[in-house]
Amino acid sequence: MIDEKMQEALNEQVAAEFYSAYLYLSMSSYLDSIDLPGASNWMRVQYREEIEHGEKIFDYVMERDGRAVLKAFDAPPTEWRSALEVFEAAYAHEQKVTALLGNLLELARELKDHATEFFLQWFITEQVEEEASVKAIVQQLRLVEGSKNGHFMIDRELASRTYNPSAS
């Protein structure tokens, strides 16, 4: 049985993951509206990954004989000034999610909840990859700032990203 405090914290994280999904879907829409279909695709894949993350945590709570409760969250932003600003916002958001997961890990350790601590390790590893991926795009966009050709090349590269569900 999962500790009530951990259950509540994990339910909050489910909301954070679903908010992340909505944020990336909103970013996808914006990027499509400024004619960057590759970047829009990249965000759409990110959206699917965040849904998967939320579902993993939701299922874990129930597997531990807890109750997964969906929480409300605010609507995400819908406007940015550029693709660079979108990816900078995504990078900042991933850093925030990393901090949230770190707090969950600390709570699991405090409660001596070894099962949850082990479960969270996958998410911590995933966050390292996600931060690095978004940071690399931010750096590329900064390098080509003001170059339509540069944006075109990056957009083509981002179009190749596909959704690959993680192994359960």
pLDDT in tens, the chain (168 residues): 999 999 999 999 999 999 999 999 999 999 999 999 999 999 999 999 999 999 999 999 999 999 999 999 999 999 999 999 999 999 999 999 999 999 999 999 999 999 999 999 999 999 999 999 999 999 999 999 989 899 999 999 999 999 999 875
Instruction: Indicate the length of the chain as a whole number.
Output: 168
Provide the pLDDT for residue 166: 83
Question: Per-residue pLDDT tens for 75-100?
Answer: 999 999 999 999 999 999 999 999 99
d(CA 111, CA 143): 46
CATH class (in words) of the domain with range 4-158: mainly alpha
Q: Nearest-5° angle of CA 140, CA 146, CA 150?
A: 45
Residue 145 burial class via C-beta count within 10 angstroms: exposed 0-12, middle 13-18, buried 19 and up: exposed
pTM of the model: 0.95
Residue with tokens 């409300």: 72
For residue 69 the two structure tokens come to: 């409760």
3-state helix, strand, coil in the chain (%, to 5): 75, 0, 25
156: Cα separation from own chain's centroid: 22
